[in-house]
Amino acid sequence: MAKTYEVAKLKELARECRIDIIKMLAEAGNGHPGGSLSEIEILVALYAHEMNHDPSNRCKPGRDRFVLSKGHGIPGLYAIMANVGYWAREDLLSLRKLGSPFQGHPDRCRLNGLEASTGSLGQGLSIAVGLALASKLERDNFRVYCLVGDGESQEGQIWEAAMSASKYKLDNMICILDYNKAQIDGYVEDVMPIEPVADKWISFGWHVIQIDGHNFEQIIAAFDEAKSVKGKPTFIIADTVKGKGVSFMENKVDWHGVAPSAEQAEQALQELYDTSH
């Protein structure tokens, strides 16, 4: 089982992950800081509290599965997995470099521990549905967690997968929306509105929970509630802040896919180090 941390420790892990994100993106010179920073509390809650997994036995039967459908947010996933023991934190600095297993989007064939190769937006939820179906058919009883983006939710395949999960009553499946309200082309509301989000997923047959995606107590409570739901999958709307934790990145569309310069990284790291006091 994953080690369960107290909330204070989860908050510290989130801070460490944000530090790792800034360092690896600055070293790489490219990547996606905005959505990587917004998703961190969700990923930390999953890997340090919620999921049944074992970094020392990565193919353990019955382990819970996680699919990062918004594959460009992979720096956040690399960071939390390093912090719970999947690989060394210093290895993260090879992000996006030639020959590195730490690709700019997740590649399960190159990095043991990842459950799915993603990056083509909209497809990860379908992968998660397939995994949840497999769990039901094989009676393995593992749970499947999938993180999707709000810009990604404009993709039609998301809604095909949503219908399938409801049809097959996949109550072993949780989809979490990193609802930071911005995508590479602008604010979601301006590019292609997805509201009313809750009503849409309810109408597709999902149990819906809405939370503050940076509040560990609310995240953990939502996961607990999802486990009690029978006969339908659960959708968690996690309201988040793009670029969370770095003042000059927060709620700024421009930081969707631009790495910080050395000077900007120094400023960001100083802010993150200061939050430990």
207-220: per-residue pLDDT in tens?
999 999 999 999 99
Q: What is the mean pLDDT of the chain?
A: 96
224-234: per-residue pLDDT in tens?
999 999 999 99
User: What confidence category does residue 276 fall into, taking pLDDT thresholds of 50, 70 and 90?
Assistant: low
Residue percentage of the chain with pLDDT more than 70: 97
Q: Which residue has the tokens 């769990």?
A: 135
pLDDT at position 269? 98
73-105: per-residue pLDDT in tens?
999 999 999 999 999 999 999 999 999 999 999
Phi-psi region for residue 53, left (φ > 0), alpha (ψ -120 to 50) or beta?
A: beta
pLDDT at position 4? 60
pLDDT at position 116? 97
pLDDT at position 142? 97
User: What confidence category does residue 275 fall into, taking pLDDT thresholds of 50, 70 and 90?
Assistant: confident
Candidate CATH numbers 3.20.20.10, 1.10.260.40, 3.40.50.970, 3.20.20.70; the one for domain 7-274: 3.40.50.970
What average pLDDT does this structure show over 179-202? 97
CA distances from 188 to 172, 195, 199, 268 (A): 29, 10, 17, 25
pLDDT at position 126? 98
1-59: per-residue pLDDT in tens?
445 668 999 999 999 999 999 999 999 999 999 999 999 999 999 999 999 999 999 99
What average pLDDT does this structure show over 99-127? 96
